[in-house]
Amino acid sequence: MAVDVLCEVSNCVHWANGNQCAADRIYVVSHTGKEAEHQEETDCKTFENQH
C-alpha cells in the first residue's frame, strides 16, 4: 500500500503542504465499471471542497 498519496487539488479539505493527501482513506472510482484503461476514466471520490 502506498505510504504517500499526492494531491494537487489545494481546495480539498484533505490537502496538506507538499501536495500530500491527509485523508484516512482514499476512494477512487471508474466511469466505466469495475475496470479502467486510462486515468481519465477515474475520479477520486474522497474530495471535499474547503468552503
Mean pLDDT of 42-51: 92
Q: What is the pLDDT of residues 6-20, one digit of tens each?
A: 999 999 999 999 999
pLDDT of residue 39: 92
Which residues have CB under 8 Å from 36's CB, separation 6+? 30, 42
Which cell numbers hold the place of 34? 469495475
Q: What is the pLDDT of residues 20-30, one digit of tens each?
A: 999 999 999 99
What is the domain extent for residue 32?
Answer: 1-51
What's the number of domains the chain is made of?
1
pTM: 0.79
Mean residue pLDDT of the chain comes to: 93
pLDDT of residue 3: 82
- 50 by Cβ neighbours in 10 Å (0-12 / 13-18 / 19+) ranks as exposed
Say which amino acid occupies 4.
D
